[in-house]
Chain A
Amino acid sequence: MSRGKWRLRAAQLALSPTWLTVVLVYLGTMAWTVTLSFTNSRLLPNWDFVGLAQYARLFGTAKWTLALQNLVVFGVLYVAGCLVLGFLLAAALDRRVRFESAFRTLFLYPYAMSFVVTGLIWQWLMNPTLGLQPTVQDWGWAGFRFDWVTSRTMALYAVVLAGIWQGAGLVMVLALAGMRGIDAEQWRAARIDGIPVWRVYLSIILPQLGPALAAAATLLSMGVIKTYDLVIALTKGGPGSATEVPAKFIMDNMFQRQNLGLATAAAVVLLLSVIAIVVPFRYAAYIMAKRRAGAL
């Protein structure tokens, strides 16, 4: 055997734990879960295949459809909120403000903290008898309400608010890095043409931040689908099922309610929704890269 070949063997050897992980852990467990979703397994898995019955049952379960609705509402508001607020923060910091790094540090620190901590902090702020609400009412604004976590209609927005607080800093960092990479010539040209600053950010800077913001949006969307700890810590899914989310539905049915078939079917639906989110993003990026290559 030649030395070159032997060295390549070393590379293959080094990658073997990762191959094992991908094949056994990622693909293997995925196949296992998909298979289970076609059975009528309850507490323990069985191989009694029932076709798509679990999926039919899943979409006949009011709690699941509610969880999906909540996920869509939460996801759209959370991602949009993080993107808008993060972009505004980045644009503001791009204006050569004093103490920029102090501002930046302050806007990003929530991102370092866990969702559990984030949820518990906001649960405290929104505590209707001891939190912000009685304090502000005490100041004389008697009609002030900030009891979102205990309100059926507002609890989902409480989760959105806490999520934006945690995640907006990430968008700010990525957007600011993108803004700093933009050619100063464009600013000079815009100033000569007398274009107002806000217009420059909206029409000239924002389109150029596409890739950075798309990366942020993908990252945040992945977080949306995984949303579990934030809800558990902030509202425990309540009041009632007002903040039920798919990840929590799956966990409950998998480990507490002994509905393994139903839970795995739900997990597969969640996977399909990830694919539905990621594929268009990746496809758009691919098309754009191709176009750019063609334009050159």
Chain B
Amino acid sequence: MSSALLQSGPAPRKITIGRIGLYAFLLSMVVFFALPLFVMVITSLKTPEEIRMARIFALPAGLNFSAWAEAWSGACAGTACNGVEAGFWNSVKITVPAVALSVTLGALNGYALSFWRPRGGKILFALLMAGALVPYQIFLYPMVRVLAGLSLYNTLPGIVLVHVLFGLPLVTLLFRNYFVTLPIELFKAARIDGAGFWRIFGEIMLPMSVPMIVVAAMLQFTGIWNDFLLGLVFAGPDNLPMTVQLNNIVNTTTGTRQYNVDMAATMLTALVPLAIYFLSGRWFVRGIAAGAVKG
């Protein structure tokens, strides 16, 4: 996909009204897209007095990171004043195993479905893709009951399991679409050499699919990190992910709201997916492009 992002339009002419209009449009869009992030950052560095002056674009008097420190470890959600720190580590504890498990299963599924074509494989794939379209609300109540029956409701393994189960369609799709582009001769040659299912997977297919593993892991990581609904329902009070804690801090605070702390907490929550995005831009784009084109 990314190789398709080469320039193909006609060569630009000299400065014309059209060119000026084009850049004017782009600059206004820069303002629209960048302004919220800019405002969020400067607000998080302001003191409450500066915020009360109601000048949203005014730069802060100095680099004052006290709101960030408070957002990290002292901001209150209701009566609990522990900041987003616990939520951050909860999100890490939820996301890392869920990504590792779902990517492994997705790679295995994609490999089994594309090269081995087992009986019922097409049906399985179709059902899996249909399952991806079903709104979560259909699953929620029975899942709560089942997980409660297994003593997994409101536990860390429980929320990880839920993410793996609902992440399967996307990762399977990514890997199946990737594996069908690999030459089948490679697979046939390995079989003639006597390699079995698992050996071909471990020694040939996994090493060849590193780019797709990276894309899938990144996509799953941002998706699970940004999840709100599943964390809210299944994680339980001790394992609430960062998004849920952030919303609790900002939207259930009683008394005076500390907007600088709220914005710092929001920034902290956005930091991990933003870091992934800015550090891996092209891969991220590849991932959403691959995920958007349903098979």
A residues apposed to B, CB below 8 Å: 7-8, 10-12, 14-15, 17-19, 21-22, 25-30, 32-33, 36, 45, 88-89, 92-97, 101, 103, 105-117, 120-125, 127, 129-132, 134-135, 138, 165, 169-170, 173-174, 176-177, 179-182, 184, 187-188, 191, 197, 215-216, 218-219, 222, 225-226, 228-229, 232-233, 236, 247, 250-251, 254-255, 260, 263-264, 266-268, 270-271, 274, 278
Minimum Cβ distance to chain A for residue B109 (Å): 5
Minimum Cβ distance to chain A for residue B99 (Å): 16
CA distance A5 to B10 in the complex (A): 57
Report if B269 contacts A (CB, 8 A): yes
13 contacts between A and B (CB under 8 A): A32-B142, A45-B141, A45-B145, A108-B277, A113-B274, A114-B270, A125-B56, A130-B52, A131-B56, A165-B33, A177-B289, A216-B292, A271-B135
CA distance A233 to B136 in the complex (A): 19
Which residue on B lies nearest to A7, using beta carbons?
Answer: B197
Chain B 9-36 near chain A by CB (<8 Å), digits 1 or 0: 1111000001000110110011011111
Q: Is the CB–CB distance between B12 and A95 below 8 Å?
A: yes
Which residue on A lies nearest to B117, using beta carbons?
Answer: A11
Chain B 35-66 near chain A by CB (<8 Å), digits 1 or 0: 11101100100000001101111000000000
A215 proximity list for chain B (CB < 8 A) = 292-294
CA distance A24 to B29 in the complex (A): 47
Minimum Cβ distance to chain A for residue B191 (Å): 8
Partner of B39, one of A115, A125, A173, A271: A125
A182 proximity list for chain B (CB < 8 A) = 8
Report if B95 contacts A (CB, 8 A): no
CA distance A274 to B143 in the complex (A): 20
Question: Interface stretch among B68-76, B207-215, B224-232?
Answer: B224-232
Q: Is the CB–CB distance between A114 and B269 below 8 Å?
A: yes
B108 proximity list for chain A (CB < 8 A) = 14-15
Q: Is the CB–CB distance between A22 and B127 below 8 Å?
A: yes
Partner of A33, one of B7, B138, B172, B270: B138
CA distance A170 to B56 in the complex (A): 28
Closest 8 CB pairs of A and B: A114-B226, A10-B197, A11-B116, A112-B277, A29-B142, A229-B228, A26-B131, A134-B54
B residues apposed to A, CB below 8 Å: 1, 4-12, 18, 22-23, 25-26, 29-30, 32-37, 39-40, 43, 51-52, 54-57, 105, 108-109, 111-113, 116, 118-119, 121, 124, 127-128, 130-131, 133-143, 145-146, 165, 168, 172, 196-198, 222, 225-229, 233, 243, 246-247, 250-251, 259, 262-263, 266, 269-270, 273-274, 276-278, 281, 284-285, 288-289, 292-294
Which residue on A lies nearest to B39, using beta carbons?
Answer: A125
B196 proximity list for chain A (CB < 8 A) = 7, 10
Which residue on B lies nearest to A235, using beta carbons?
Answer: B251
Q: Is the CB–CB distance between A187 and B4 below 8 Å?
A: no
A122 proximity list for chain B (CB < 8 A) = 36
B111 proximity list for chain A (CB < 8 A) = 14
Q: Is the CB–CB distance between B266 and A121 below 8 Å?
A: yes
Q: Is the CB–CB distance between B139 and A29 below 8 Å?
A: yes
B284 proximity list for chain A (CB < 8 A) = 108, 112
Q: A21-B165, A124-B262, A187-B9 are in contact. Are A15 and B274 (CB under 8 A)?
A: no
Which residue on A lies nearest to B198, using beta carbons?
Answer: A10
Minimum Cβ distance to chain A for residue B186 (Å): 16
Q: Is the CB–CB distance between A14 and B109 below 8 Å?
A: yes
Q: A25-B165, A29-B138 are in contact. Are A181 and B118 (CB under 8 A)?
A: no
CA distance A197 to B256 in the complex (A): 54
- Known contacts A15-B124, A113-B226, A264-B141; can you find 19 more A-B pairs with CB under 8 A? A14-B112, A15-B112, A26-B130, A29-B138, A29-B143, A92-B29, A94-B8, A94-B9, A96-B7, A96-B12, A112-B277, A113-B274, A114-B228, A121-B37, A124-B263, A134-B54, A170-B292, A216-B292, A254-B137
